[in-house]
A and B are shown apart, each in its own frame.
Chain A
Amino acid sequence: MDRTASISWFVKASAACAAVLAMCWIAPQFLKDIPDFPATTTDEIQSKIADRYLNSPVAPVALTGSSFTVRLHEEFFHKLYVRNLALPGGSPLTGAAMIEAATAVRPRLIAIETNTLSRGIDQAMVERVRTSNAEPARAPMNFRPLRTLAALYQQKLDDWQRFDRDDKSALLRQSALEEAILRKPPAPEYNPHVLAAVLAEWNNPDHDQIIRRHAAELKHIVETLEMQKISVFFYELPLSPAFARSRYMTTGRSAMAEAFGHDHGRWLSLDYPSNEIRWTDGAHLDERSAIIMARSLERAIARKIGSEVVKQTSSDLAR
């Protein structure tokens, strides 16, 4: 290819590249409600959870935790208006620190899961929330045309999954769905060979120091939140017996006792039929058990705070 032809090739290629980039920059400025594909990576999922927390109406109750609490979907809470800020692959400390950083969004009560204390605060995520306080939500600049096409298709498939708390028929549908799941028998026990392999990691003493350090950090965050008049309670989600007895969990419990003393008033007392609870991997609740535990957690929170926020809906809060 001679020099002129080469230059012509590069000019055309650059023009095509610039045109596609410009289209992707302009499209979000003019098109509203561009469908967004469900997040598939941990980073994407965590970012979406943080954005949703910042941009949704303030709920009086917030949950923070790890993938264990992620299973407790907000729609499982019928009487309490709950915002679930649990981060899959993340830490309950990050969620608590994000709430502390998001000064524009103030829940009245935070329930913190204590199953996962080995992970520390994700400072980048907290900083992201802190800077968002000063800036209004913007249209996404990273419009991805092919992913949007897939999202359109996926949205049609998953239309039933959209849940609107103020939509009475949606609430009824959700209740019917949950009742149908609850009528089924508990799922069979999980593959014991897999449990043994994962459990070995849970009994690894390497986590001990880090868990104690994070419990101390949690104490600091809790004190800051309480100074801002936010009530903070803890809860531990049930695990299969071998996991509940593991070194990881016993260390976590003793670290929490060291940091917070034996103040039983801080803990949410969960009542549930333990023989009905099942896990997908010995630690994460299956859907049926998650519904049972969400209802149990709802009752425990209601006992702590009385009934004043129990029947609040988003429309009440918007006034």
Chain B
Amino acid sequence: MTFTSWQFAVFVSGVFALYYWPLVRPYQVYILVVASLFFYGFGQPELLALLAIAVFGTYFFLLKAMARRKLWLPAGIAFNLALLAFFKYKLLFVDPSSPALSDVGAIDLLLKLPLPIGISFFVFHNISLLVDMTKRTGPAPSQWDVFLYIIFFPQLVSGPITRAENFLPQIQPKFFNEVPFVEAARWIVTGYFFKLFVANNLNTLTTNMDFPLYHALRSSDRWLCLFLYSYQIYADFFGYSAIAIGLGLLFGYRLPINFNLPYISQSFAEFWTRWHISLSTWLRTYLYIPLGGNRDGKGRTYLNLMIVMGLGGLWHGAGLSYLAWGLMHGLLLVIERPFLPLIEKLAAIAALRRVIVATRMLVVFLCVSFLWVFFKLPNFEHAMDYISGMFIDQSVPSPARIYRSLALIYAFPVLIQHFITSERLVALRGNLDPFVYGAMAALMLIEAGPDTAFIYFQF
């Protein structure tokens, strides 16, 4: 069941009505857990067992680690990483379409299981739970609370990755008259608008980047598609996160904001404080800082950055392209780091400020966009082939046509959002705010692009 299906709308309406029924208020956590299980099992019921193993296993390790952290915390983390590694990286070694992979039926069954949707996200939730809860003193959270934290349906499939210490304290009785309906509606409408209108329509243009279709693209169109894909992946993932935040609010939970206008970043370090914030926060908290962060000298800091970004790349998928994407982001962070103080000094000169700010934004956007090619074309050779074709104007006998007018219309919301400051946007909307959201709701229905899965579902 995806957020954009009518079944999901029915599902949310039903759960919402039941959830705030006063008679069942004591059972709100159970209702959300059961609803989340239904949501997850709707498409892949065979994977519910895996989810149960992950949750009960983590809870077992949590109880043990609260008594003996040194021994059981690493074991719990290893258990979750093993789950992730098995499902995410088994395809590097086995071909599930083979009739028999081993002589043991049960092993074959495991090896043939598809990649569980959202495994990368709920495994990170589990690790956060183990680390955060075992740091503090006091009783262990209840099994149902843990269950809800891990599988809360708005965030189960693609985040935002919520930290246990932020989510668990929010588990309290919820009241209908405390629901911030307008705020939730703003998030939900914005999210669906970015997914249905922007991302799905841009997808009709960027499918030309797929192999072997990109060979029919002229180099100028390859550049255009590169930027359009940048807007698409942002609109797609921002859209998902916004819907998740809105849904969370409907059920009384405030999930973390995942995006903050990433394409106006003036440095790569800033980009990672604006893009997929919950993942970068998770990586910083549970990987970069434990590795030593920037406390052990420049060389070690650079190494830590490369390790974190390389692993961040591999978290997205088992493939050279994802590793290359992560490592190149790491390299960009390492390269810019020594120059940042100098650039900041130059930017302080009033006459140069605007030029420097614009140049920095442009450089960051260009580099980030280039690296998205490795997401669009997970085959490393195809990605390199695409990039090389951007610089060599090859003869294309019958080129594909990318309509600039459509590209502009569908990319426009992303541009407006990024380049009109939020204060000015609020001032512009003024009393028109509800009308703007109403019009957005209508447009996302009328002008929705062909249905496509959320890009981050594959991770």
Contact = CB atoms under 8 A, between A and B. Distances in A.
Interface of A: 1, 3, 5-6, 8-21, 24, 37-38, 40-41, 43, 71, 142-147, 149-150, 153-154, 187-188, 190-191, 193-194, 197-198, 278-281, 284, 286-287
Nearest to B389: A191
A182 to B, nearest CB: 14
Interface of B: 177, 180-183, 185, 189, 204-205, 211-212, 215-216, 385, 394-398, 403, 405-406, 409, 433-439, 441-443, 445-447, 450
4 A-B pairs with least C-beta separation: A16-B438, A20-B442, A12-B434, A13-B438
A3 B438 contact: no
B414 to A, nearest CB: 15
Contact of A280 (B397, B406, B435, B441): B397
A10 B185 contact: yes
B403 to A, nearest CB: 6
Given A40-B406, A147-B409, A286-B398, A13 B441 contact: yes
Contacts of B447: 144-147
Contact of A154 (B180, B385, B394, B403): B403
17 contacts: A13-B189, A16-B436, A16-B438, A20-B438, A21-B445, A24-B446, A37-B403, A40-B406, A41-B204, A146-B409, A147-B409, A153-B405, A154-B405, A194-B212, A286-B397, A286-B398, A287-B398
B397 A9 contact: no
Contact of B212 (A20, A41, A43, A281): A281
A147 B410 CA distance: 10
B398 A16 contact: no
A150 to B, nearest CB: 4
Contact of A150 (B395, B406, B438): B406
B438 A17 contact: yes
A198 B212 contact: yes
Nearest to A154: B405
Contacts, number: 112
Contact of A144 (B182, B434, B437, B446): B446
Contact of B450 (A18, A24, A43, A198): A43
Contacts of A143: 446
A187 B409 CA distance: 35
Contacts of B182: 1, 5-6, 9-10
Given A24-B442, A40-B403, 11 more contacts: A13-B438, A16-B436, A17-B438, A20-B438, A145-B447, A147-B406, A187-B395, A191-B215, A197-B212, A280-B216, A280-B398
B119 to A, nearest CB: 29
Contact of A21 (B205, B395, B435, B446): B446
Given A13-B441, A17-B441, A41 B434 contact: no
A71 B216 CA distance: 14
A118 B9 CA distance: 38
Nearest to B406: A150
Task: Please indicate which of the listed interface residues B185, B385, B397, B442 has the most CB atoms of chain A within 10 Å of its own CB.
Answer: B397
A96 B189 CA distance: 44
Contact of A13 (B395, B398, B437, B445): B437
Contact of A17 (B395, B409, B442): B442
B405 A10 contact: no
B308 to A, nearest CB: 34
A297 B434 CA distance: 60
Contacts of A8: 434
A283 B61 CA distance: 58
Contacts of B398: 71, 280, 284, 286-287
A16 B439 contact: yes
Given A40-B406, A142-B446, A150-B405, A10 B181 contact: yes
A71 to B, nearest CB: 8
Contacts of A19: 438, 442
Nearest to B398: A280
Contacts of B445: 21
B406 A13 contact: no
Contacts of A40: 204-205, 403, 406
